[in-house]
């Protein structure tokens, strides 16, 4: 899909690739918002959930730490929720959380059902069909612990994120958007990472290893939360341009 020179460059510069992916993901969320308003943010959340589920199992090394590609896309869900909270209020943000949860359940269910279809036995396509089946099995064969852990962590942490964002906003008013964005996201991401690590990893590995895996992911989540501050101010400026006479939702 990409020119070979670009592929070779990113292969030799994985940190640049990671940052590029992050900026494109956050920028794409703001573009969807500018083009389609509130519905664009809802689409962004659904898209991020699907990408996080598909790319979550892929592990890589960035800045010397092992991380999952799903961290980028999952973190952008918190960003989109904060934009909804800032511009449309607590009710719309909470509604988006439940929409995201429903989409996640549907995606996990449909992908799991897809694995139950047997590959084609047609001699002309059997080899290709079996290769595709094996690839899908590798990516999509979720364990019950993963499903339960990811859904529970998402629902609790996202609900907490909305609550924390508006609690901070009640203290600060319209000032210090960066504080409620970073404060709510970092706290809720810590909650998310802890729940996920204890449910999914503890028992598979020892507690210390489970917490170490979670800590590495949390480092990246903090970095992403700091970077997305630029984008949430961009999103708010877009809202004010579209609604110059309308105050921001409390």
Q: Evaluate whether 80 touches 26 at the Cβ level (below 8 Å).
A: no
Read off the pLDDT of residues 150-204 as tens digits, 9 standing for 90 and up. Answer: 889 889 999 999 999 999 998 988 888 899 998 999 999 999 888 888 887 766 6
Arithmetic mean of pLDDT, 101-112: 87
What pTM, to 2 d.p., does this model score?
0.83
Question: Which of 42, 133, 52 is CA-nearest to residue 94?
Answer: 42
Q: Residue 72's pLDDT is what?
A: 87
User: In this prediction, what percent of the chain has a pLDDT beyond 70?
Assistant: 92
Q: How many helices (H) and strands (E) does the chain have?
A: 9, 2
Q: Residue 204's pLDDT is what?
A: 67
Q: How confident is the model at residue 250 (pLDDT cuts 50, 70, 90)?
A: very low
Arithmetic mean of pLDDT, 112-137: 89
Residue 84 predicted with pLDDT over 60: yes
Largest CA distance in the chain: 68
Arithmetic mean of pLDDT, 7-30: 93
Contacts 24+ apart (CB under 8 A), 107-116: 107/49, 107/50, 107/53, 108/53, 108/142, 108/147, 108/151, 111/53, 111/140, 111/142, 112/140, 112/142, 114/140, 115/140, 115/141
Residue 210 predicted with pLDDT over 80: no
User: In this prediction, what percent of the chain has a pLDDT beyond 90?
Assistant: 35
Partner residues linked to 154 by β-bridges: none
Question: What is the distance in angstroms between the CA of the first residue and the CA of the last residue of the chain?
Answer: 44
């Amino acid at each position: 899909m990409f020119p070979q020179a670009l592929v070779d460059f990113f292969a030799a510069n994985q940190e640049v690739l990671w940052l590029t992916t992050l900026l494109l993901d956050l920028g794409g969320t703001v573009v969807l918002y500018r083009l389609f308003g509130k519905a664009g943010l809802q689409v962004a959340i659904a898209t991020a959930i699907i990408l996080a589920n598909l790319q979550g199992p892929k592990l890589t090394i960035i800045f010397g730490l092992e991380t999952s590609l799903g961290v980028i896309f999952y973190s952008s869900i918190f960003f989109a929720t904060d934009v909804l909270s800032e511009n449309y209020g607590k009710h719309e943000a909470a509604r988006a959380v439940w929409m995201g949860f429903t989409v996640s359940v549907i995606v996990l269910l449909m992908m799991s059902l897809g694995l139950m279809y047997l590959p084609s036995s047609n001699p002309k396509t059997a080899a290709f069909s079996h290769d595709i089946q094996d690839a899908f099995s590798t990516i999509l064969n979720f364990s019950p612990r993963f499903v339960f852990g990811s859904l529970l962590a998402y629902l609790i942490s996202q609900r907490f994120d909305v609550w924390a964002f508006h609690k901070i906003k009640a203290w600060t008013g319209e000032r210090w958007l960066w504080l409620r964005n970073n404060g709510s996201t970092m706290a809720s991401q810590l909650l998310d990472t802890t729940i996920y690590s204890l449910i999914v990893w503890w028992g598979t590995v020892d507690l210390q290893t489970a917490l170490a895996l979670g800590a590495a992911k949390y480092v990246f989540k903090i970095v992403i939360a700091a970077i997305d501050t630029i984008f949430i101010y961009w999103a708010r400026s877009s809202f004010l341009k579209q609604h110059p006479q309308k105050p921001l939702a409390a």
